[in-house]
Amino acid sequence: MQGYNRVIFLGHIGRSPELRRTPRGTAVCTFSLLVPGESQGEGKGEDVSIDVAVFSALAERCHETLSTGTQVLVEGSLVQRRWQGPGGISQSKYEVIAQVVRGIEH
């Protein structure tokens, strides 16, 4: 059976969207999405921060319309980024590459 990589999160924008361009000129918008974490016992769990990257025209729209606190639904795939940190130490993080970002009106 072949794998399937698809995630859907509903949460609030944590870190404000930042827009940059790749060397070839493609727009890239990055932001953090805060989603509710699991509770360990009673009460509400801490929010989990998820890094999100959006590309091209959708990236530009996200940068123009989203701000901290906005509730959104994000749908995309999960990727692991790896790099060499200071001292040659291998580092990595997971990030969602979003294909769908929908603003949720209250």
Residues 6+ positions from 38 with CB-CB distance below 8 Å: 45
Q: How would residue 43 be classed by pLDDT, with cut points 50, 70 and 90?
A: low
The pLDDT assigned to 12 comes to: 96
The pLDDT assigned to 45 comes to: 74
The CATH fold assigned to 13-38+46-66 is: OB fold (Dihydrolipoamide Acetyltransferase, E2P) (2.40.50)
Q: Where are the domains positioned within the chain?
A: 13-38+46-66
